[in-house]
């Protein structure tokens, strides 16, 4: 029996990844990776790692690979601590276990090599991100030839799983995205976004929904919800058991909600100012007119919170203060730390977008969806490649993942303004630096108590960045602000129904300071959902209880159509 020389194998592998010329070949083989942040610099990686550091990395790799090879020759399956390779099909077969273990060792070496690059912290972050994309893509679980689970199913089904997998792949190619959920199981307006209500106003940019009361009495001040325009609003109104909209109505609030239009070419020149003036400010005016209230409770989620806060700063500059309270859910006002999304933003990338979109055009929803999927590729890409294509499984119905695939476009001018003035230059938080809708923006002028929420595992808005809104709002009276931290991530942390009593959240009744970590050090973990805490905050600022009105809208703003309306059903071009 000819046993391969383990040193020769390891040396050959090291040569591929420590020689910058090999990186150029790698990127030619995988052209989609060449567009990743940091890819250009990664192609020259060998030139910016100190030789002594590279030698140490090689020696460490050779030593670990030698031990792994000895285990394999001894017939011992190596330990593999990764959920991708946790099934008996992987661990019960020494060859498959060796493939998984050697892959993880190679991934560890590539990560260490990226960390050893001598460059700026921002460039290193971008390179590390690109390396991780390559590492995740090259997992042996992603290929039929090296995935024992897929091979077992192929044999068990006599080839049927492969035929189904190919059909699933062809269907997704036609749709333009990987199916994360059984998309035939859901329909907006039937079993998603079906809280009862009416569209009471619409213009080219949004429809305003008003929901029917579910209590005999309501707070006299209504609640206006501004969701992100980068996604569809029904993340806040999925199904009755996990709908934040329905929960708010059940707590005795008259709820209005902005349903943004999915932009087409007719909105290609729409600006950030338009989203403020013709969007949020118009919604505030209509909701005030219908409810006959000068002040409203207001909520903004993610980009919707940034838009809402900007709009309230515009009104404050005009001497108007229509917010009885302000709720911000996973929202950036201070973009000092944008987490992993920082890898997609630098001067060159922003200029490239501006050259093509600043004067008109659309940022395609599929591009935005791909960007967010790349932040969690194993969960949102490769997991479904393995299940849907290699094993021929149909994805189960999951409302949140159905919503995740229902993408929206963004108008180019609005998108470019947002990229430059927030993610790139962080201008929005600087008092008086930006003019929006003809007014200088200063968040300190917003006169409203604030409920600020962050999610502890949020990879889109790090919770410390959500906390960064605290010193910007009510700086002269910090007691007007309240910060609550929820468990889980950007979406699952927010959509945590009170009735299910899942997860937990943290509160701190002490004084809010500038430092998020100090706040957390003094915080207390509470079981269950943060929703009741928020409901109590709304009730505190909702005014007296009055009899609920059965008729929606008024004589000026008459119902146009039943919720959820037409706009939310429009698919991205």
**Which residue from 350, 566, 384, 541 is spatially nearest to 448, judged by alpha carbons?**
541
Strand partners, 258: 208
Q: Which residues of 19-48 are buried (b: 16+ CB within 10 A; e: fewer)?
A: eeeebeebbeeeeebeebbbbebbbebbee
Question: 526 has which bridge partners?
Answer: 505
pTM of the entire structure?
0.90
Return the HEC string of 493-524. Answer: CCCCCHHHCCCEEEECCCCCCCCHHHHHHCCE
For 436, phi then psi, to 5°, come to -125, 130
The parts of the chain modelled with pLDDT lower than 70 are: 1-47
DSSP labels for 291-354? HT-S-EEEEEETHHHHHHHHHHHHHHHTT---EEEEEEES--S--S--GGGGGG-SHHHHHHHH
Question: Which residues carry out catalysis?
Answer: 302
Domain residue ranges of the chain, discontinuous segments joined by +: 6-156, 197-362+409-569
Looking at 74-206, list the stretches that DSSP marks H as alpha helix, in order from N- to C-terminal side. Answer: 88-91, 94-116, 121-137, 148-156, 160-175
Residue with tokens 């006959």: 292
Residues 419-477: pLDDT tens digits? 999 999 999 999 999 999 999 999 999 999 999 999 999 999 999 999 999 999 999 88
For 565, the token pair is 């309306």
Say if CB 524 and CB 559 are below 8 A apart: no
Helices (H) and strands (E) in the chain, counts: 22, 17
Beta bridge partners of 525: 506
Nearest to 180 by CA among 402, 386, 371, 399: 402
Cα separation, 480 vs 334, in Å, equals 19
CATH 1.10.4030.10 for domain 197-362+409-569: no
Query: In this predicted structure, what is the pLDDT of residue 42?
Result: 53
Whether the Cβ atoms of residue 403 and residue 162 lie closer than 8 Å to each other: no
Q: CA 261, CA 14: separation in Å to the nearest integer?
A: 51
């Amino acid at each position: 029996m000819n046993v391969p020389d383990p040193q020769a194998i390891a040396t050959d592998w090291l040569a591929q990844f420590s020689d910058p010329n090999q990186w150029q070949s790698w990127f030619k083989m995988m052209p989609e990776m060449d567009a990743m942040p940091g890819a250009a610099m990664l192609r020259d990686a060998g030139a910016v790692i100190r030789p002594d550091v590279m030698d140490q990395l090689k020696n460490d790799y050779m030593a670990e690979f030698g031990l792994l090879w000895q285990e394999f020759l001894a017939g011992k399956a190596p330990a593999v601590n990764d959920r991708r390779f946790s099934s008996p099909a992987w661990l019960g077969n020494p060859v498959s276990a060796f493939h998984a273990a050697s892959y993880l060792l190679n991934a560890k070496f590539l990560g260490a090599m990226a960390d050893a690059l001598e460059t700026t912290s921002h460039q290193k972050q971008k390179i590390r991100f690109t390396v991780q994309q390559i590492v995740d893509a090259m997992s042996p679980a992603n290929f039929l030839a090296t995935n024992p689970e897929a091979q077992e199913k192929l044999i068990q089904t006599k080839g049927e799983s492969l035929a189904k997998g190919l059909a699933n792949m062809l269907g997704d190619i036609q749709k333009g995205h990987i199916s994360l959920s059984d998309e035939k199981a859901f329909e907006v307006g039937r079993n998603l976004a079906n809280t009862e209500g009416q569209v009471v106003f619409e213009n080219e940019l949004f429809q305003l929904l008003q929901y029917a009361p579910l209590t005999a009495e309501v707070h006299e001040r209504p609640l206006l919800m501004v969701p992100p325009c980068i996604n569809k609003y029904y993340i806040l109104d999925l199904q009755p058991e996990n709908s934040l909209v329905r929960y708010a109505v059940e707590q005795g609030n008259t709820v209005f909600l902005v349903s943004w239009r999915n932009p087409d070419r007719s909105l290609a020149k729409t600006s950030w100012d338009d989203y403020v003036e013709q969007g949020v400010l118009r919604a505030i005016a209509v909701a005030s007119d219908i409810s006959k209230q000068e002040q409203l409770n207001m909520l903004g989620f993610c980009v919707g919170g940034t838009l809402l806060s900007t709009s309230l700063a515009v009104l404050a500059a005009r001497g108007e203060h229509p917010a009885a309270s302000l709720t911000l859910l996973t929202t950036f006002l201070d973009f000092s730390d944008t987490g992993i999304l920082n890898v997609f933003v630098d001067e060159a990338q922003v200029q490239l977008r501006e050259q093509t979109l600043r004067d008109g055009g659309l940022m395609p929803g599929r591009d935005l969806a791909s960007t967010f999927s790349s932040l969690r590729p194993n969960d949102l890409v490769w997991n479904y490649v393995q299940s849907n294509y290699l094993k021929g499984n149909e994805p189960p119905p999951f409302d949140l993942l159905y919503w995740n695939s229902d993408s929206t476009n963004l108008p180019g001018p609005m998108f470019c303004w947002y990229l430059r003035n927030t993610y790139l230059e962080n201008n929005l938080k600087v008092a008086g630096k930006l003019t929006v809708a003809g007014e200088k923006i200063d968040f300190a002028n917003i006169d409203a108590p604030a409920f600020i929420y962050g999610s502890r595992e949020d990879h889109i808005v790090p919770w410390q960045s959500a906390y960064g809104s605290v010193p910007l709002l009510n700086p002269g009276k910090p007691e007007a602000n309240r910060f609550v931290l929820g468990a889980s991530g950007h979406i699952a942390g927010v959509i945590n129904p009170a009735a299910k009593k899942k997860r937990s959240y943290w509160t701190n009744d002490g004084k809010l300071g500038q430092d998020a970590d100090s706040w957390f050090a003094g915080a207390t973990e509470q079981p269950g959902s943060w929703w009741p805490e928020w409901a109590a905050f709304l009730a505190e600022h909702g005014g007296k209880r009055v009899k609920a009105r059965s008729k929606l809208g008024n004589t000026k703003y008459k119902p146009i159509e039943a919720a959820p309306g037409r706009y939310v059903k429009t698919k991205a071009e």
